[in-house]
């Protein structure tokens, strides 16, 4: 497969997954607004903080209100990680590989893009944001279902799977990080029903509340963190994403699992092993935010290695020693 084609398929899936997960960030706050006390109902600035793009936001907007944050994260065409911008990039990548993906996949992406660019979408995001962001999440889930049922599960499919799963792992870590950035208005709220409401909202935003309850029943911070990081069966858990991303990577290269023939395999295998052999106690010792921040940096190095291994032209003398 041409590196250009692989690159486009990989990023097509990453951008579509990113669009859905931005909607999930916003959904955290929408769920919180329903039950938090009055003095805690205006916490929109943490959503900007968790993206890592606070500086860009402050250059464009005076304050972090519901309207400005939703505009920035959902509809700002000049913010490269907004839902609108991500779908535009996904659509352009899909356009360049239309001969590789199925016509149903192309139609699904196009409809997704047209939904978000319509004036109706902006109006609904203002009047009924939960309904709009639910539509965004469902559009990506529809795309994944169409991809599963209409695209041969060969090399191209594995690049799509690899991109989507790495993006999902990164964004699940950021959804968890929302809890760090959302500061309760009073210290005495920690451990109370308001703290529990935040953890329940976080589970809802990851579509994991029902599956979590089947396993743990009661909501406790440690068990929520354990579930979203270390569960190997729930499809939005970080560990599940890394396991399946690694399998797709090895399907692409043909090298056996447990070995590595390039830097991408080495870095992803090492990161997956770190998650496999870690537990909630390690997260608590390091601190949730610090643990997630370290994970995100390591995941970025995996993405860099994938780019260098598959998407760039390298001189014949370069390579990874094994």
pLDDT per residue over 273-285, tens digit each? 999 999 999 998 9
Could you tell me if 140 and 19 are in contact, meaning their C-beta atoms sit under 8 angstroms apart?
yes
The backbone region for 312, taken as left when phi is positive above 0, alpha when psi lies in -120 to 50, beta otherwise, is beta
Give 216: exposed, middle or buried? Use CB within 10 Å, 0-12, 13-18, 19+.
Answer: middle
Report how far residue 87's alpha carbon sits from residue 174's, in angstroms, rounded to the nearest whole number: 20
Distances (CA, A) of 48 to 13, 123, 182, 186, 213: 23, 22, 11, 21, 29
- State the pLDDT confidence band at 315, using cuts at 50, 70 and 90: very low
- State the pLDDT confidence band at 185, using cuts at 50, 70 and 90: very low
Distances (CA, A) of 172 to 234, 238, 264: 12, 7, 21
3-state helix, strand, coil in the chain (%, to 5): 75, 0, 25
- The structure tokens 């003095």 sit at 39
**Residue bearing the bigger pLDDT, 202 or 242:** 242
For position 37, what pLDDT does the model report? 57
| Position 319 pLDDT exceeds 70 | no
Structure tokens at 159: 């690049």
pLDDT digits (tens, 9 = 90+) for 162-181: 999 999 999 999 888 877 66
- Helix orientation angle between 221-230 and 209-216, rounded to the nearest 10 degrees: 110
Least confident of 10-19, 58-67, 208-217, 313-322: 313-322
For position 30, what pLDDT does the model report? 80
| Position 310 pLDDT exceeds 70 | yes
pTM: 0.89
- State the pLDDT confidence band at 313, using cuts at 50, 70 and 90: low
| Position 161 pLDDT exceeds 90 | yes
Give 255: exposed, middle or buried? Use CB within 10 Å, 0-12, 13-18, 19+.
Answer: middle
**Quick one: how many helices (H) and strands (E) in the chain?**
16, 0
For position 31, what pLDDT does the model report? 72
Mean pLDDT of all residues in 202-212: 90
Reduce the DSSP state of residue 254 to 3 states and report it.
coil
| Position 186 pLDDT exceeds 70 | no
Report how far residue 28's alpha carbon sits from residue 208's, in angstroms, rounded to the nearest whole number: 12
For position 202, what pLDDT does the model report? 86
For position 279, what pLDDT does the model report? 92
């Amino acid at each position: 497969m041409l590196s250009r084609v692989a690159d486009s398929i990989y990023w097509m899936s990453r951008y579509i997954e990113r669009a859905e997960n931005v909607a999930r960030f916003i959904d955290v706050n929408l769920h919180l607004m329903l039950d938090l006390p009055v003095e805690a109902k205006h916490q929109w600035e943490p959503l900007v903080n968790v993206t890592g793009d606070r500086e860009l936001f402050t250059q464009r907007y005076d304050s972090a209100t519901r309207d400005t944050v939703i505009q920035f994260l959902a509809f700002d065409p000049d913010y490269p990680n907004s839902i609108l911008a991500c779908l535009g990039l996904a659509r352009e990548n899909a356009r360049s590989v239309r001969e590789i993906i199925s016509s149903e996949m192309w139609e699904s992406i196009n409809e997704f893009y047209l939904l978000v660019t319509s004036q109706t979408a902006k109006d609904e995001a203002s009047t009924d944001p939960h309904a709009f962001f639910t539509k965004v999440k469902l559009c990506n889930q529809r795309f994944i279902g169409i991809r599963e049922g209409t695209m041969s599960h060969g090399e191209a499919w594995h690049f799509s799977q690899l991109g989507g799963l790495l993006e999902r792992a990164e964004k699940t870590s950021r959804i968890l990080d929302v809890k760090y950035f959302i500061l309760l208005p009073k210290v005495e709220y920690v451990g109370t029903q308001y703290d529990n409401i935040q953890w329940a909202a976080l589970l809802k935003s990851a579509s994991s509340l029902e599956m979590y309850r089947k396993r743990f029943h009661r909501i406790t911070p440690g068990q929520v963190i354990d579930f979203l990081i270390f569960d190997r069966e729930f499809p939005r858990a970080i560990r599940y994403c890394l396991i399946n991303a690694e399998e797709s990577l090895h399907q692409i290269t043909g090298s056996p699992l447990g070995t590595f023939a390039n830097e991408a395999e080495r870095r992803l295998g090492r990161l997956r092993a770190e998650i496999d052999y870690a537990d909630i106690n390690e997260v608590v010792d390091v601190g949730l935010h610090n643990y997630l921040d370290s994970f995100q940096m390591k995941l970025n190095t995996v993405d860099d290695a994938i780019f260098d291994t598959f998407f760039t032209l390298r001189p014949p003398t370069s390579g990874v020693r094994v």
